[in-house]
Structure 1
Amino acid sequence: MTRTKLLVSALSLSLSLGAFAQAAELVGYAVLPADTFASGPASGQYGGDGSKAAQPRFSSQPVQGFSAVQFGPDGSYIFMPDNGYGTKYNSPDFLLRLYSLTIAPKTAPGGTGSVKVGNFVQLRDPDKLVPFLIVNENTPDRLLTGADFDIESFVPMPDGTIWLGEEFGPFLLHVSADGKVLSAPVPTPDYSAGKDPAKDLVRSPNNPSILANSPAPGGASAANLGGSRGFEGMAGNVARTRLYPLLEGSVLGDTPGTLRLHEFDPATGKYVRLVGRYKLEAPVNSIGDMAVINDNEYLVIERDQAQGADAKLKKIYRIDLTKLDADGNFVKTEVADLLNISDPKNLAGFGPTFRFPFVTIEDVIVLDASTILVANDNNYPAMGGRGADIKDPNEFLILKLDAPLNVAAGVGRK
């Protein structure tokens, strides 16, 4: 073989192995301390079994557990916490809200990165459209809590209303700009072979109908989706005429580790079809969030269940809704490895290589073709991401990608 052919062969091999791929670069960094609170009633009085302690742990409402992000006005962001303290039974005093945050990231050595918490939208059901009992059933405002819904994703609509994806149903929930429920929660159709999606449903163990008809001791549950495996991720197309809610867990009967992505028409409030399946790198992994790039391409966060030094996989992939493999799974392309981020300016203070090793990383949004924002869900008052005895803060990363995204007009920070 000639010298030229050898060089071409070596170059081809290097490219195929990704030898020239570079890590995403941290170009902005900010932290919101774990102990950040907003006005509201005392909370944290319930245990995982629903037992009530003599006193609540917190005198107001923690601003924590961010599970989704969208753009707000005037350069702000809207972040949405999930159901609060992790389960249906320990979160009846955690109020479901969306918070306005202004982020001033550190972009140069010696700078500071700050996050200011602004106003919030409180979810509520004063018109009694939720067809099952809620914690604040007999109050005028009927404020929604983490025992009513486990909200994990949301998309603001052009008319100012908001669609939310949640996990207890799993349901899609439609609310006004100021948080009032506009219609009954939309259940999830079952597209399994032999099922009729017009009447058969995907239901978790926390679905109200499952809880109301619990099996006899030792009997099989009618749930066909694991707990806390509902709509962790959801994105809209560019015009937001379609929503794409993504389950976090596999439906009973599906190949383990494959997650259903649905298409939903917000104008009619009805599901359109099953688009395909996202295949996890390992069945024990989870997805964390989903964000639009263009009408076909979307970002998806995938993570393992470990944290700190034990974390092995925290990545962001790109999928194309028009590209499926022979098994009906989306073709995935790695966009960023969150455990191998270049930080040449040492913005985060951890040296030239920055790791984002939190167990739950649940926020991503496209800023422009080369830049994305990523943040974690700190599961307040959990510890372990930055040290066994350190409360996990909320960290906000501005990442410059190695290769630009094909961002559609109308996507990104305008």
Structure 2
Amino acid sequence: MTAGAQRADKRPTQCKAVKPTFLGWSVTLTLSLCSASALGGGAAPVTAAPVSAAPSTAAPTASVPRPTLVGYAELKADTFAQGPASGAWNGGLRGEARFQGQPVQGFSGVQRDPQGQGFIFLSDNGFGAKNNSADYLLRLYRVSLTPGTPAARTGSVKVGSFIGLRDPDKKVPWQIVNEASGERLLTGADFDVEGFAFAPDGTLWIGDEFGPFLLHFSADGRLLEAPIATPNLPGLPTLRGQAPIVIGHRGSSGTRPEHTLESYRTAIEAGADFIEPDLVVTKDGVLVARHEPVIAAVDETGKVLEATTDVATRPEFRDRLTTKTLDGVKVHGYFVEDFTLAELRTLRAVERLPQLRGKAYDGQFTVPTLEEIIALVRDVEAKTGRKVGIYPETKHPTYMAEVAKVNTSQLLIDTLKRLNFTDPARVFIQSFEVGNLKDLNTRIMPAAGVKLPLVQLISSPDEAPYDWAAAGDGRKYDALTNDASLREIATYANGVGAYKRWIIDGEGHTTDFVTRAHTAGLLVHSWTFRNEPTYLLPTYKNDPEAEMRQALRAGVDGLFTDFPATGAKVVGQYTAPEVRSPQHPAFAQGLSSAAANLPASGGFEGFAIAPGGKLAYGLLEKTVAGDPAGQLRLMRYDLGTRHWALAGRYVLEQGGEAIGDLTPVNDSQMLVIERDNGQGETAKFKRLYLIDLAAKNADGTLRKTLVADLMALADPRGLAPSTRGGVFSFPYFTIENVLVLGPDTLLVANDNNYPATGGRGADVKDQTEFLWIKLPTALKLAPAYH
């Protein structure tokens, strides 16, 4: 479809009793919230403003007090609870159980116990992976914590009873590990539970990563309803919010010789919404699909320069070799208009770019007519029920009128009407010239009683519409890209087919072209997206999907691509009705052919219910396909109306690779753990940020304020065994628990990924460490906290 050459292309002094009215609970017991001094803390006076978002790991200064460790406790890695033996699975294969019971490990969420004075911790999904965790039972453990002092610095951690998660009422609509048992205990192969909260009615809500799902349980762990899927709410900025279309450029021309029935069939099977035939005319007036009228270009010695058929090897057609002027350029070769359809049928298609795409399919396919292409589309519809459209281009209409004496626009409409293929939802007509589109709009289509959408193709600024050039008009294609011209195009066409550099410049920056075209009411279909590195800017690092995603984020309404399978995959990730990770049961059990649009285990790592008790929030751990890299969706779920909404977008800092937990401060503010993927000596980034749903950056993302650097907490009293020089570091791979204990005190704990090692030494099993952290500046807690 391209014109011309192809392009590469804070503290108080005592404890106080408070009623646990957090989240609206109506409970008579009291909980003890202790200040830093009651816990043995010795923080410097609080005089500073909130810490900025540019933290330092250097020693604290007198003017900027850092958060202080005021309590510490630890739970040994080898801590077990009653239950069946576990750890028998390895990579999906079952062997001997490694543990005679259930490890109490992998804490991934924490809340106060509404029935006692301790805490409830949620165990993670098991032994590191879905296929290793079929014998790990999902539980919440009641835990009593006493922070350490310099005299007994490891403190006290007592694990009590647990709440086992189960599905006896068969609410899960797919097969689970314990499918046939009565209690149907849930395992780490069923769900990856990460964050939880109690609702005002006492029921339990949990965020899962595998789906990702929201899971609703009774207070004693019985699943109350089917897992609630996560909708893929954020749409693309297309003209009318519609899904972008994938156009098979000359079929699936990256994998089959272009403009052959096999290329079109492959494109349809790959998921193309439209296939694109470029149309030229035979000597006897039949529309056939070729990119150019010239079907083989040769030099004066007979060497083939470029060909889409094997005509140059056919001595019987040697007399058809000629030189013609095609859009002002002399071309030596063989031209379609010099062959009847019968003669053309004897030729076989060859790969136009053999050095790039090989010759495996040369000589196998014929040159198809438009009628045959439409028959193929109808055959697919009859067999599959899937309606695919065609996107014909009238090639070189001025040339065809002069040389072949044929008005290709008229012939196209006549053919479409004769074949009764005039559904405007299934046809776009495109052209690089201007006059023939205007003629189609004002004369040809009205006379035929046909109304089909037209698309003005816009090539690079060094080229021009040939009908302008032939009439002595010196303007180039850039003359079609200003606002006034876009409005003019909208008087005769429905869209523009723009060379992709109008949308993404040569430096990889998104322009305002799509926004301006949409303002004029025009669709934007961009070309041409190819998988080969030679056509990709360096910024994409040989990832063709990255280029497509950028174009889709820019708002294009369609993509022309030589590789429609890639295009369909990328568009499908955006337009899928749900956010799904690869561990979603629909994939594992063959219930879906759609592509996952969230990286593995990238679901609700953070989950919380706001103090008002009506709204739940889930923060995805990883980026949904198509969203800007490093942006995470914060989803809001109304527990009353059961409606989802996008609450905001959280942007990871440089060095941050994932989030670990989410906990409310008040109805608007929340704390987020952000971390890198390092541990031990490689750990550099483990932090707590405060976000406010009412505070956004200029780009609409959530504003963040650094609250604590967990790699550099002050510990002047040496509460933790690992503290060195008065500084405590928390270098665990995953830190997944944070809870607000008071205005200036937080509880933080890690997930030890049992039986993993590496946090405190390569050969040391990771234990679970509990930190009481005093902040230099108090948080603005909801009234229920006071």
The TM-score with structure 2 as length reference comes to 0.48
1:134 equivalent in alignment to 2:176:
yes
Residue 198 of structure 1: how far off its partner (Å):
11
Residue 114 of structure 1: how far off its partner (Å):
1.0
The answer as to whether partners of 2:53 and 2:704 remain within 8 angstroms in 1 is no
The answer as to whether partners of 1:365 and 1:373 remain within 8 angstroms in 2 is yes
Correspondence for 1:57: 98
Q: 2:779 aligns with which of 405, 408, 414?
A: 405
Does the C-alpha gap of structure 1 residues 251 and 29 become closer, same or farther in structure 2, counting only changes over 3 Å? same
Does the C-alpha gap of structure 1 residues 323 and 17 become closer, same or farther in structure 2, counting only changes over 3 Å? closer
Mapping of residues 14-413 of structure 1, within 5 Å: 20-47=63-90, 49-53=91-95, 55-72=96-113, 73-194=115-236, 200-213=577-590, 222-271=595-644, 273-282=645-654, 285-349=657-721, 350-351=723-724, 352-411=726-785
2:168 and 2:203 map into 1 onto residues whose CA distance is 16
1:29 and 1:79 map into 2 onto residues whose CA distance is 17
Does the C-alpha gap of structure 1 residues 111 and 340 become closer, same or farther in structure 2, counting only changes over 3 Å? closer
Letter in 2 for 1:34: A
The answer as to whether partners of 2:655 and 2:685 remain within 8 angstroms in 1 is no
Does the C-alpha gap of structure 1 residues 212 and 112 become closer, same or farther in structure 2, counting only changes over 3 Å? closer
The answer as to whether partners of 2:581 and 2:596 remain within 8 angstroms in 1 is yes
What secondary structure, in the 3-state scheme, does the structure 2 residue paired with 1:376 have?
Answer: strand
1:188 and 1:235 map into 2 onto residues whose CA distance is 15
Residue 180 of structure 1: how far off its partner (Å):
0.2
**Deviation per residue, 1:276-333 (Å, 9 max, x gap):** 1000013861100011111111000000000112111000000000111122211100
**Deviation per residue, 1:59-100 (Å, 9 max, x gap):** 000000000000013320000011111111000000000000
1:210 and 1:252 map into 2 onto residues whose CA distance is 17
1:244 and 1:391 map into 2 onto residues whose CA distance is 33
For the aligned residues, what is the CA RMSD? 2.3
1:140 and 1:269 map into 2 onto residues whose CA distance is 30
Letter in 2 for 1:155: A
2:166 and 2:742 map into 1 onto residues whose CA distance is 34
What secondary structure, in the 3-state scheme, does the structure 1 residue paired with 2:633 have?
Answer: strand
The answer as to whether partners of 1:287 and 1:302 remain within 8 angstroms in 2 is yes
1:286 and 1:198 map into 2 onto residues whose CA distance is 24
Does the C-alpha gap of structure 1 residues 112 and 361 become closer, same or farther in structure 2, counting only changes over 3 Å? closer
Residue 108 of structure 1: how far off its partner (Å):
3.8
Residue 270 of structure 1: how far off its partner (Å):
3.2
What secondary structure, in the 3-state scheme, does the structure 1 residue paired with 2:769 have?
Answer: strand
The TM-score with structure 1 as length reference comes to 0.91
Letter in 2 for 1:391: K
Does the C-alpha gap of structure 1 residues 37 and 276 become closer, same or farther in structure 2, counting only changes over 3 Å? same
The answer as to whether partners of 1:203 and 1:210 remain within 8 angstroms in 2 is no
Letter in 2 for 1:337: D
The answer as to whether partners of 1:307 and 1:385 remain within 8 angstroms in 2 is yes
Correspondence for 1:3: none
Residue 403 of structure 1: how far off its partner (Å):
1.1
What secondary structure, in the 3-state scheme, does the structure 2 residue paired with 1:362 have?
Answer: strand
Residue 262 of structure 1: how far off its partner (Å):
0.9
1:280 and 1:302 map into 2 onto residues whose CA distance is 7
Does the C-alpha gap of structure 1 residues 188 and 16 become closer, same or farther in structure 2, counting only changes over 3 Å? closer
Does the C-alpha gap of structure 1 residues 338 and 140 become closer, same or farther in structure 2, counting only changes over 3 Å? same
Letter in 1 for 2:206: L
What secondary structure, in the 3-state scheme, does the structure 2 residue paired with 1:202 have?
Answer: coil
Residue 266 of structure 1: how far off its partner (Å):
1.4
**Structure 2 portions without partners, runs of 5+:** 1-47, 56-60, 237-241, 244-573
Residue 251 of structure 1: how far off its partner (Å):
0.6
The answer as to whether partners of 2:153 and 2:720 remain within 8 angstroms in 1 is no
Does the C-alpha gap of structure 1 residues 25 and 226 become closer, same or farther in structure 2, counting only changes over 3 Å? same
Residue 213 of structure 1: how far off its partner (Å):
3.4
The answer as to whether partners of 1:109 and 1:345 remain within 8 angstroms in 2 is no
Does the C-alpha gap of structure 1 residues 65 and 185 become closer, same or farther in structure 2, counting only changes over 3 Å? same
2:94 and 2:586 map into 1 onto residues whose CA distance is 25
Number of aligned residues:
394
The answer as to whether partners of 1:315 and 1:337 remain within 8 angstroms in 2 is yes
Letter in 2 for 1:187: A
**Deviation per residue, 1:154-213 (Å, 9 max, x gap):** 011111100100011000000000000000000000023247999811011111112233
Does the C-alpha gap of structure 1 residues 165 and 215 become closer, same or farther in structure 2, counting only changes over 3 Å? closer
Does the C-alpha gap of structure 1 residues 359 and 17 become closer, same or farther in structure 2, counting only changes over 3 Å? closer
1:199 and 1:381 map into 2 onto residues whose CA distance is 37
Does the C-alpha gap of structure 1 residues 16 and 60 become closer, same or farther in structure 2, counting only changes over 3 Å? closer
The answer as to whether partners of 1:31 and 1:394 remain within 8 angstroms in 2 is yes
What secondary structure, in the 3-state scheme, does the structure 2 residue paired with 1:74 have?
Answer: coil
2:635 and 2:54 map into 1 onto residues whose CA distance is 33
Does the C-alpha gap of structure 1 residues 396 and 199 become closer, same or farther in structure 2, counting only changes over 3 Å? same
Letter in 2 for 1:99: Y
1:211 and 1:283 map into 2 onto residues whose CA distance is 33
The answer as to whether partners of 2:656 and 2:685 remain within 8 angstroms in 1 is no
The answer as to whether partners of 1:44 and 1:94 remain within 8 angstroms in 2 is yes
What secondary structure, in the 3-state scheme, does the structure 2 residue paired with 1:382 have?
Answer: coil
**Deviation per residue, 1:368-407 (Å, 9 max, x gap):** 1110000000000000101111100000000001111111
Does the C-alpha gap of structure 1 residues 16 and 231 become closer, same or farther in structure 2, counting only changes over 3 Å? closer
2:150 and 2:588 map into 1 onto residues whose CA distance is 52
Letter in 1 for 2:111: Q
1:367 and 1:385 map into 2 onto residues whose CA distance is 26
2:589 and 2:54 map into 1 onto residues whose CA distance is 53
- Which is higher, the Rg of structure 1 or of structure 2? 2
The answer as to whether partners of 1:257 and 1:283 remain within 8 angstroms in 2 is no
What secondary structure, in the 3-state scheme, does the structure 1 residue paired with 2:766 have?
Answer: coil
